[in-house]
Amino acid sequence: MRAITVIPGQQGSVALTDMPEPPDEDGPILVQTQAVGICGTDLEIIGGEYGSAPPGQDRLVIGHESLGRVAEAAPGTGFGAGDLVVGIVRRRDPVPCPACAAGHWDMCMNGQYTERGIKGRHGYASERYRIHPEYLVAVDPVLGILGVLLEPTTVVAKAWDHIEKIGRRAAWAPEKVLITGAGPIGLLAALLATQRGYQTYVLDRVTEGRKPEMVRRLGATYVHSEDLGEAAAEADIVIECTGHLQMLLEAGPQHVRYRIICLTGVSAAGAEANVDPGLLNRNMVLQNSVLFGSVNANRHHYELAAKALAQADSGWLGDLITRQVPLDQWTDAYARQPDDIKTILGFPDASR
Ligand code: BGC
């Protein structure tokens, strides 16, 4: 079967390759891939900066944002042929650690977890894959192709889940939310903010095009980077979705009202910033602020994300997908274009 693969660590190795059919030990459910979404992590893996192949293999099938249709499911799995499904990315470690043992593999404490399409396990950018039901999530058929947005939505569903858990440490009545970055993660974070009824600001560098319009259609306020200070001073919750924390930290001492700041963007090391650690410390302490990171998602977050997508305006969700590229033209899918929000790679669906 055809699959998009890389030799991890080797830039320029990405290729549409012929790979063996998925082995039975991968699970009793055979899924026909319909589409995979492409994100920054895929581009880092293609750039040789990230990712690892399954033990003993040279190539890694990439793709972790998926949508598929069940082709065959063993009885008792809870799935049947034709079901629209999304595969979970992370697998608990083999030890297992206390977090993984509790199903919180997104919080794996020893780093021995694996991630499909990213770390030590083949991904979903193949015509077919096999999976255990524990790691498969049914998607409302009404969503159709929009189900491919489930995995990125899980990332922000987890961020919101943890913000709310931290928020329960004391009486709290947040009103305003600032999201930095109007890419797919930022826009989905803003969707979940407006679903909660918060006054929401989304910051990005661009001044025109689809991103500001997508923000306004949510009933949120679009803020250009230069106007960050004011929105930042007002926000009770900040979700950072660019990987450029320094932008927030450099916005000045007016950050005193920050209560909970969640970082979701994976950044490169070595960024230089002019930050006063004393001021940061002082603000964090005197305002009881929390700065925390959030990555990946567990099954509970897939369920929360599925609900959020079901409640969202399907026209708005559809406009997040700015390009759909067929498998035969796969190289175009991985070449970023200026107006891209979410690009998806479409697989021929043999079950139809
Ligand atoms: C994925 C997460 C994953 C993270 C780090 C992200 O792009 O959405 O599921 O945990 O990369 O590998």
The mean pLDDT of 5-28, rounded to a whole number, is 97
pLDDT for the residue numbered 287: 86
Q: Is 64 in the pocket of ligand 1 (CB under 6 A)?
A: yes
Domain 2-138+313-346 maps to which CATH number in 3.40.50.2000, 3.30.1390.20, 3.90.180.10, 3.10.180.10? Answer: 3.90.180.10
Least confident of 84-98, 132-146, 274-288: 274-288
Kindly state if the Cβ of 157 falls inside 6 Å of ligand 1.
no
pLDDT at 252 over 60: no
> Quick check: CB of 106 below 6 Å from ligand 1?
no
Looking at per-residue pLDDT, the higher value among 17 and 245 belongs to 17
Atom of ligand 1 nearest to the CA of 65: 8
pLDDT value of position 257 = 63
Predicted pLDDT at 275: 77
More confident residue, 279 or 241: 241
Closest C-alpha to ligand 1, atom 7:
41
Split at pLDDT 50, 70, 90, the class of 231 is confident
The pLDDT of residue 332 is 98
Mean pLDDT over each residue of the chain, to the nearest integer: 93
CATH 3.40.50.720 domain extents, the chain: 154-293
Q: Cα Rg for the chain, rounded, in angstroms?
A: 20
CA dist., res. 131 & res. 88, Å (int): 10
Q: Can you say whether residue 288 is alpha, beta or left, with left for phi > 0 and alpha for psi between -120 and 50 degrees?
A: left
What is the C-alpha separation between 295 and 240, in angstroms, rounded? 12
pLDDT in tens, 132-182: 999 999 999 999 999 999 999 999 999 999 999 999 999 999 999 999 999
Q: Is the CB of 41 under 6 A from ligand 1?
A: yes
Question: Where does CATH 3.90.180.10 sit in the chain?
Answer: 2-138+313-346
Summarize the confidence of residues 199-217 as an average pLDDT.
93
Of the two residues 271 and 184, the one the predictor is more confident about is 184
Q: Output the CA torsion 127→13→25→302 (10° steps).
A: -70
Contact 338, 210 (CB under 8 A): no
pLDDT of residue 228: 78
Overall average pLDDT of the 173-192 stretch: 96
**Residue 192's closest CA among 213, 169, 161, 223?**
161
- Please give the average per-residue pLDDT across 80-94, as a whole number: 97
Query: What are 298-352's pLDDT values in tens digits?
Result: 999 999 999 999 999 999 999 999 999 999 999 999 999 988 999 999 999 754 4
How far from the centroid of its chain's Cα atoms is residue 207's Cα? 24
- pLDDT given for residue 352 in this prediction: 47
- pLDDT category at 279 given cuts 50, 70, 90 is confident
- The domain 154-293 is classified under which CATH number: 3.30.365.10, 3.40.50.720, 3.40.1010.20, 3.60.21.10? 3.40.50.720
| Of 96 and 232, more confident | 96
Give the model's confidence band at 25: pLDDT under 50 very low, under 70 low, under 90 confident, else very high.
Answer: very high
CA distances from 88 to 61, 66, 211, 286, 300 (A): 15, 9, 28, 40, 11
Residue 274 has pLDDT above 90, yes or no: no
The vertex-237 CA angle with 231 and 241, nearest 5°, equals: 80
Q: Which residues of 70-92 are buried (b: 16+ CB within 10 A; e: fewer)?
A: bbebeeebebeeebbbbbbbbbb
Tell which atom from ligand 1 comes closest to the C-alpha of 106.
10
70 touches 137 (CB < 8 A): no
pLDDT of residue 255: 55
